[in-house]
Amino acid sequence: MILESVITRIVEQQKDRLLLRDIGLKRELIPATQSLSSHALIISGVRRCGKSTLLMQMMKSLSNERVFYLNFESPQLYEFSLSDFTRLDNIIAQKESTTLFFDELQLVEGWEMYVRQKLDEDFRVIITGSNASLLSKELGTRLTGRHITQELFPFSYHEFLAFKGMTPSVESLKAYMIEGGFPEFVKTGDQDQLATLFEDVLIRDIVTRYGIKDIKSLHRLACYLISNIGNRITATKLKQPLSIGATSTILTWFSHLELSYLVSFMPMYSNSTKAQLINPRKVYAIDLGLIDVISNTMTEDSGRKLENLIFLHLRRKYSDSELYYFDEKGECDFVAIKNGRAELVQVCYELSPDNLKRELNGLRKAMQFFNQKKATIVTFNNSDVIEEDGFTIEVIPAHTFLLL
């Protein structure tokens, strides 16, 4: 049990600190709270991608309303339990709040019952959560459909340009591919922040949550994946080189790492769900800046980093279940399928006479398979239009494609 006076003091301290923060860059994801009548808004995403700043921006946009904010990750609230919600209700009533902002509410067991209660009482409820214990994929059973989920990622290229005061160009693209989009790192350039972030995700979001004992093996696996972005991965082939006992363990850890947003696994497209599960998946990291800090490879593969960059751009537009790679005697890097339509994207750092035939072959195979007359090749700085046999392939520099 936590005294009501203690909770009140924490509420005042946290709100004062939050509202004193720099307003920060206005994110591309600014949810409309006016439509939240019977559903809670859940904003999920990797640690330190800017969720708390987004909440602060939303709170300031509601300056004419009585908003209430509480971050449950405060050490003083570690013992907060279901019975303490009664005291929290008293404080909310005293402040006559109508919109509730909760950071890390999922740390309290039984939180979903409280949220349903507040929705029934006509409160608007906005929640963010780190992936230690709140994941968007778990919410269906917890709130029985009474939620809207949105994902927040590190800065997009467009946001990076706005934050840095730069314009679209080869130079700014190079900077983005080096720095990535974690707001604090883009601001300070302190690589220790990214190293600490990586460890926080592993320990707080995975090891602690799932009770994993073999931390070193998990660490090796995470480093291996981030060092092999854009490559096809299978659990079976990793068991021996990483000295992990069972394939099932690797598959489980794959799931934990993906649900934490640290990495993503993209399946090969197939009409057969079984084939999608069996075939190797391609792995991508959540951020390019993190790759330079964590990767254990000595050589820089600009092509793989560009491919990862385009994946992150498409991932902001599509859900993880809408993105695939295609391989039918020729590979197409990305197939995005939504509402019955397919967007086909090939990534090649630099088109040349040596690779042109290979890149076009994989893309044409996909265009024929999906019956698409238009497709795109994204490069670092090539521009062109290729028209052949009724197909149109536009070659676009990445700094242009990322702003489309």
Domain boundary among 300, 319, 342: 300
Both 286 and 346 in one domain: the answer is no
CATH number of the structural domain spanning residue 207: 1.10.10.10
| Residue 218 and residue 81 share a domain | no
Q: Note the pLDDT of residue 141.
A: 63
- Measured CA to CA, the distance from residue 398 to residue 404 in angstroms comes to 10
Q: Do 112 and 209 sit in the same domain of this protein?
A: no
Eight-class DSSP state of 297: -
Could you write out the DSSP letters of every residue in 24-72? Answer: -PPPS----GGG-SSSEEEEE-STTSSHHHHHHHHHHHTTTS-EEEEET
User: pLDDT at position 377, please?
Assistant: 98
CATH value at residue 38? 3.40.50.300
What CATH code is carried by the domain that includes residue 333?
3.40.1350
* Same domain flag for 19 and 134: yes
Q: 245: buried, middle or exposed (CB in 10 Å: 19+, 13-18, 0-12)?
A: exposed
| Domain assignment of residue 106, given as a range | 4-151
Task: Give me the pLDDT at residue 132, please.
Answer: 42
Shared domain for 16 and 140, answered yes or no, is yes
Cα distance from N-terminal residue to C-terminal residue, the chain: 52
The one-digit pLDDT tens for each residue of the chain (404 residues) are 899 999 999 999 998 888 777 788 988 887 766 567 788 998 989 999 999 889 888 888 887 788 999 999 899 998 999 999 999 999 999 999 999 999 988 888 889 889 999 999 999 999 988 764 455 455 656 677 788 888 899 999 999 999 999 999 999 999 999 999 999 999 999 999 999 999 999 998 899 889 999 999 999 999 999 999 999 999 999 999 999 989 999 999 999 999 899 999 999 999 888 888 889 999 999 999 999 999 887 677 899 999 999 999 999 999 999 999 999 989 999 999 999 899 999 999 999 999 999 999 999 999 999 999 999 999 999 999 999 889 999 999 999 999 99
Q: Specify whether 22 is located in the same domain as 45.
A: yes
Same domain, 52 and 123: yes
pLDDT at 201 (0 to 100): 94
Q: For residue 380, which amino acid is it?
A: F
Identify the pLDDT of residue 356: 96
Distance in angstroms (rounded) separating the CA atoms of residues 400 and 281:
28
Distance (Å, whole) CA 342 – CA 266: 16
Strand duo 281-285 + 323-327: pairing: unpaired
Chosen domain end from 92, 124, 151: 151
DSSP code string of 120-173: HTT-EEEEEE-TTT--GGGHHHHHTT-EEEEE--SPPHHHHHHHHT--SSHHHH
Residues 52 and 142 in one domain: yes
The reported pLDDT for the residue numbered 60 is: 84
pLDDT of 194 reads 97
